């Protein structure tokens, strides 16, 4: 996501074309992204981010904006990753990665 635009209007309009009605992509995103957990671009999964940053959703904060402002500092992930760890089988997400790193110290 670092090299992608935070909001990709072309991607968004294609992805959510059935929901836009007469609204522009950016207006739709600004009005509905939090409540519907809509993604701003193809490289960001708002539902995954909110699931791992429940305080962000509880405060009705835009997931992508929070990630850009604070998540990178906190090492939060904007999408689910599958990590192969030969000592722990398969782990999913940043929590497993962080737990393994802590155990190694």
Residue range(s) defining the domain that contains residue 20? 9-79
- Please name the residue that has the structure tokens 């909110």: 50
- Whether 90 is covered by a domain: the verdict is no
- Whether 93 is covered by a domain: the verdict is no
The string of pLDDT tens digits covering residues 57-90 is 888 889 988 888 887 666 655 554 433 333 333 3
What's the number of domains the chain is made of?
1
CB neighbours (10 Å) of residue 73? Answer: 8
Tokens read off for 89: 């089988």
Euclidean distance between CA atoms 85 and 16, whole angstroms: 36
For the entire predicted model, the pTM comes to 0.64
pLDDT value at position 68? 82
Question: Quick one: CA dihedral 51, 52, 55, 61, positive or negative?
Answer: negative
Residues 16 and 8 sit within 8 Å (Cβ to Cβ): no
- Whether 23 is covered by a domain: the verdict is yes
Mean pLDDT of 33-42: 93
pLDDT band at 13 (very low <50, low <70, confident <90, very high): very high
């Amino acid at each position: 996501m670092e090299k992608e635009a935070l909001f990709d209007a072309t991607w968004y309009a294609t992805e959510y074309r059935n929901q836009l009605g007469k609204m522009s992509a950016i207006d739709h995103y600004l009005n509905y992204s939090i409540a519907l957990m809509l993604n701003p671009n193809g490289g960001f999964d708002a539902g995954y981010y909110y699931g791992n940053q429940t305080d962000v959703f509880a405060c009705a904060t835009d997931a992508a904006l929070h990630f850009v402002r604070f998540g990178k500092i906190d090492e939060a992930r904007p999408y689910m990753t599958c990590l192969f760890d030969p000592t722990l089988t398969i782990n999913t997400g940043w929590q497993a990665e962080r737990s393994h790193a802590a155990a190694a110290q």
